[in-house]
């Protein structure tokens, strides 16, 4: 084991403290007995219980989940298609413009994206609700999906697709039977990214949400403006737990697969 | 009655399986294939040989259907296949990278093409088992490509491309990823499989030894053109140009001026103060025409005394000796500074070698041992 120098220990501590101290405090105070957020009055899970009784929060959570699932699925389909065209179609008129425009939402200020979508929905007379949030989230998260998927497609051995064509597949069959199963991890990663982006989003959702379709971030934000309640702390802790479990599972699965693959390759090399 | 030798290219009644007619392929301004015509016959093992960028891979990709010629036509069994997409051609390809589907088992990889062709399930299984047997892969049917070795992967790729019993099998540098020993074994295995299945094989390679070993005919290409198409022995023994002579194997090239000495016999004046050389040639050379004499190192004998009967003999001193185990190559410097390579088989143990560095030796060869070339 390598020993860390005092400098390394200090920078490590500072770095982690900077990143995680606020979150840690939030989690600790979510178990606070007192109604006052800043005063510790003993351990209790009372606010978690009350959270389950709070219909407004539960509704908002349900809306958020629906929006996240639909928008990330839609964004994955569209983003994968866009990535495929950009990486595979070679040069076609307007390719540079197309790829530039796909990546533009990455750097576009969210306020502007939200405002322009709001104007569009009003313009075409679409009532604001779950549908409009789904459309809005799809718009901005599909570019993230296409970045993730196209980075995988760039390293994809094209001869695999050619082999599929050579063996009698139509171009669509080649995509469905060969390309898609192989790039699936990137597609799933793109979906997860889009899902979390949609889960997190406050700005765009507040432009495109209607009165009946408040998402959780909007709910939390408006509740906090009236004062931080311990319930919010509890809710945030649950969200943190979900995200943490997701990230750890994903990385464990990837690591295990990589290890297994390495073992099998070594076994094959030895058996040669 | 003499046994019939396989040489359909000499038989005017034979119809070629593949016919390239004035095919040109351009990528932008770059001409990859330049007005090329070529015929390949059924059951041939045909090798396209050339340095990288010579257009050999483009030829293969046009046969597979991944590239369309800019002009000209390609016929397969008498039909123009240029408008036919890759997935509708009775042509299969074995890729340089093998292109095995990593998410499918060996069995499913081999069955992949058959499943696309509406074949009944039990027939598919029978065909896959037949292919596994042919390539000795039975034990590995349930493994994924990353669970088998490089040589086994190569055989899976071969089995997969042969499973649909194509009229024509294309092999793109099929042995490039294997080590030298495995490569040699696999070359013979390929030839066996080609004979057993009776499929026409077209192989692309930059390895001249490989082309010579496996092919019934070799096409030497350079810059999108065919330089020479002939059987391996003709390519080696009677190259038509200095390029081919130089590309295939080792060769000494001596430039000189030709003058006719008799029926098929030419004198070559090649250096001031040196005795002229003689060589036979069925090509005509005019008086004083610049010519190149190509002599393979193994056709040159090396001796301490001037051989009495030799058609050609030159004296020089040994500059370098390359010991290759079975052979030794001597680099002999002639008085004018030219270096000639001569090769001898090491029939004796090394300690009893007759020549060493700085020795003055005589090099000799017969009039028929060298090839006289115009360019």
Alpha-carbon distance of B153 to A182, in angstroms, equals 18
pLDDT at B168 over 90: yes
* CA neighbor of B310 nearest in space, from B277, B334, B264: B277
Q: Do B149 and A163 touch (CB under 8 A)?
A: no
Chain centre to alpha carbon of residue B237: 13
Which residue has tokens 């995988």?
A152
A268 pLDDT above the threshold of 80: no
**In Å, how far are B276, B280, B334, B361, B372 from B313, measured between CA atoms?**
9, 16, 11, 10, 17
Plot region of B62 (φ>0 → left; ψ -120 to 50 → alpha; else → beta): alpha
Count of A–B CB contacts within 8 Å?
78
Question: Which H or E run includes B209?
Answer: helix B208-214
B339 within 8 A of B276, measured Cβ to Cβ? no
Kindly list the residues from chain A whose CB atom is less than 8 angstroms away from the CB atom of residue B66.
162, 165
Q: Is the confidence at residue A37, as pLDDT, over 80?
A: no
β-strand partners of B362: B303, B315
CATH 3.40.50.620 for domain B8-243: no
Q: What is the mean pLDDT of residues A234-238?
A: 87
Phi then psi dihedrals of residue B186, to 5 deg: -65, -35
pLDDT at B4 over 70: no
Average pLDDT over residues B170-187: 86
Where are chain B's structural domains? 8-243, 250-373
pLDDT of residue B18: 94
pLDDT of A271 strictly over 70:
no
Contact (Cβ atoms closer than 8 angstroms) between residue B364 and residue B358: no
Report the residue of B60, B149, B150, B182 to disrupt the A interface, i.e. the one with the largest count of A CBs within 10 Å: B149
Considering only CA atoms, give the Rg of chain B: 25
In A162-195, which positions are buried (b, 16+ CB within 10 angstroms) versus exposed (e)?
bbbbbbbbeeeebbebbbeebbeebbebbbbbbb
Domain B250-373 CATH (choose: 2.40.50.140, 3.40.120.10, 1.10.569.10, 2.40.50.100): 2.40.50.100
> A184-211: per-residue pLDDT in tens?
888 988 898 898 889 888 999 999 998 8
Instruction: Name the residue with higher pLDDT: B30 or B283.
Output: B30
d(CA B49, CA B296): 20
CB-nearest to B66 from A160, A162, A177 is A162
Q: What local confidence, expressed as pLDDT, does residue A227 receive?
A: 79
Residue contact A157–B117, C-beta within 8 A: no
Strands in B85-208 per DSSP E? 91-94, 168-172, 200-205
Residue A228 has pLDDT above 80, yes or no: no
Sign of the CA dihedral with B242 first, then B247, B248, and B253 last: positive
For B102-139, the pLDDT digits (tens) are: 999 999 999 999 999 889 999 999 999 999 998 889 99
Render pLDDT for B9-64 as a digit per residue (tens, 0 to 9).
888 888 899 999 999 999 989 999 999 999 999 999 999 999 988 999 999 999 99
DSSP class of residue B15 equals: P
For testing the chain B interface, which of A162, A167, A184, A270 should be mutated: the one with the most B CBs within 10 Å? A167
Q: Which residues, 6+ apart, have CB-to-CB distance to B19 below 8 Å?
A: B37, B38, B39, B40, B73, B74, B75
Chain mean pLDDT for chain B: 90
* d(CA B30, nearest CA chain A) in Å: 17
From chain A, pick out residues whose CB is under 8 angstroms from the CB of B116. 167-169, 173
* pLDDT band of B1, cuts 50, 70, 90: very low
pLDDT for the residue numbered B98: 93
Q: Do B86 and A166 touch (CB under 8 A)?
A: yes
Q: What is the mean pLDDT of residues A164-170?
A: 94
User: Tell me, what's the pLDDT at A1?
Assistant: 55
Closest-CA distance, A162 to chain B, in angstroms, reads: 8
CB atoms within 10 A of CB B281: 22
- Which has more confidence, B350 or A183? A183
Q: Does pLDDT of A78 surpass 90? A: yes
Nearest to A272 among B93, B113, B151 (CB): B151
Q: Which of B85, B101, B151 sits opposite A178 (nearest CB)?
A: B101
Q: What is the DSSP string of chain A?
A: -PPPPHHHHHHHHHHHHHHHHHHHHHHHHHTBSSSSTTS---B--HHHHHHHH-HHHHHHHHHHHHHHHHHHHHHHHHHHHHHHHHHHS-S-TTHHHHHHHHHHHHHS-HHHHHHHHHHHHHHTTPPPSHHHHHHHHHHHHHHHHHHHHHHHHHTS-HHHHHHHHHTT--HHHHIIIIIHHHHHHHHHHHHHHHHHHHHH--HHHHHH--TT---HHHHHHHHHHT---HHHHHHHHHHHHHHHHHHHHHHHHHHHHHHHHHHHHHHHHHH-
Whether the domain at B8-243 and the domain at B250-373 fall into the same CATH topology: no
Distances (CA, A) of B163 to A26, A225, B81, B107: 63, 70, 21, 11
CB contact under 8 A, A272 and B101: no
Separation between Cα atoms, residue B101 and residue A178, nearest integer Å: 7
């Amino acid at each position: 084991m390598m020993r860390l120098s005092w400098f390394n220990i200090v920078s490590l501590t500072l770095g982690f403290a900077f990143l995680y101290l606020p979150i840690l405090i939030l989690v600790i105070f979510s178990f606070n007995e007192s109604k006052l957020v800043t005063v510790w009055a003993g351990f209790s899970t009372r606010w978690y219980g009350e959270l389950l009784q709070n219909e407004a929060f539960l509704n908002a959570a349900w809306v958020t989940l629906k929006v996240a699932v639909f928008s990330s699925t839609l964004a994955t389909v569209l983003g994968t298609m866009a990535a495929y065209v950009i990486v595979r179609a070679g040069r076609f008129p307007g390719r540079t413009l197309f790829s530039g425009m796909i990546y533009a939402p990455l750097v576009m200020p969210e306020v502007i994206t939200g405002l322009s979508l709001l104007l569009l929905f009003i313009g075409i007379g679409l009532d604001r609700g779950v549908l409009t949030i789904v459309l809005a989230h799809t718009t901005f998260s599909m570019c993230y999906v296409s970045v993730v998927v196209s980075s995988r497609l760039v390293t994809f051995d094209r001869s695999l697709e050619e082999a599929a064509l050579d063996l009698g597949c139509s171009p669509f069959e080649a995509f469905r039977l060969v390309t898609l199963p192989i790039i699936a991890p990137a597609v799933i990663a793109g979906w997860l990214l889009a899902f979390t982006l949609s889960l997190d989003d406050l700005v765009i959702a507040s432009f495109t949400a209607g009165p009946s379709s408040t998402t959780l971030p909007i709910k939390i934000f408006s509740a906090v403006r009236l004062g931080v309640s311990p319930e919010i702390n509890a809710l945030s802790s649950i969200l943190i737990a979900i995200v943490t479990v997701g990230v750890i599972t994903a990385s464990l699965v990837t690591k295990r697969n990589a290890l297994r693959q390495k073992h099998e390759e070594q076994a094959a090399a030895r058996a040669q | 009655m003499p046994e019939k030798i396989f040489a359909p290219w000499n038989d005017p009644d034979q119809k070629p399986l593949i016919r390239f007619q004035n095919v040109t392929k351009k990528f932008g301004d770059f001409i990859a294939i330049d007005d090329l015509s070529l015929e390949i016959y059924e059951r041939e093992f045909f090798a396209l040989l050339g340095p990288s960028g010579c257009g050999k891979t483009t030829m293969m990709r046009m046969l597979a259907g991944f590239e369309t010629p800019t002009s000209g036509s390609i016929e397969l069994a008498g039909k123009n296949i240029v408008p036919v997409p890759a997935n509708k051609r009775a042509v299969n390809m074995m890729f340089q990278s093998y292109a095995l589907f990593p998410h499918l088992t060996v069995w499913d990889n081999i069955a992949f093409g058959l499943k696309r062709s509406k074949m009944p399930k039990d027939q598919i299984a029978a065909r896959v088992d037949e292919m596994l047997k042919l390539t000795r892969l039975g034990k590995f049917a349930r493994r994924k490509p990353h669970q088998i070795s490089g040589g086994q992967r190569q055989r899976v790729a071969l089995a997969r491309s042969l499973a649909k019993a194509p009229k024509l099998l294309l092999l793109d540098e099929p042995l490039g990823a294997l080590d030298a020993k495995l490569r040699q074994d696999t070359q013979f295995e390929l030839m066996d499989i080609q004979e057993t299945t009776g499929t026409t094989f077209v192989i692309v390679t930059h390895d001249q030894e490989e082309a010579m070993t496996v092919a019934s005919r070799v096409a030497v290409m350079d810059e999108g053109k065919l330089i020479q198409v002939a059987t391996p022995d003709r390519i080696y023994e009677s190259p038509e140009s200095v390029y081919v002579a130089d590309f295939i194997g080792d060769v000494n090239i001596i430039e000189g001026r030709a003058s006719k000495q008799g029926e098929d016999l030419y004198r070559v004046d090649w250096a001031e103060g040196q005795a002229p050389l003689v060589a036979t040639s069925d090509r005509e050379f005019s008086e004083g025409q610049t010519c190149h004499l190509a002599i393979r190192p193994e056709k040159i004998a090396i001796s301490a005394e001037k051989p009495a009967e030799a058609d050609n003999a030159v004296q020089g001193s040994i500059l370098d000796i390359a010991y290759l185990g079975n052979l030794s190559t001597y680099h002999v410097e002639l008085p004018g500074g030219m270096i000639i390579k001569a090769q001898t088989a090491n029939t004796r143990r090394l300690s009893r070698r007759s020549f060493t560095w700085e020795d003055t030796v005589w090099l000799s060869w017969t009039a028929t041992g060298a090839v006289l070339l115009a360019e």
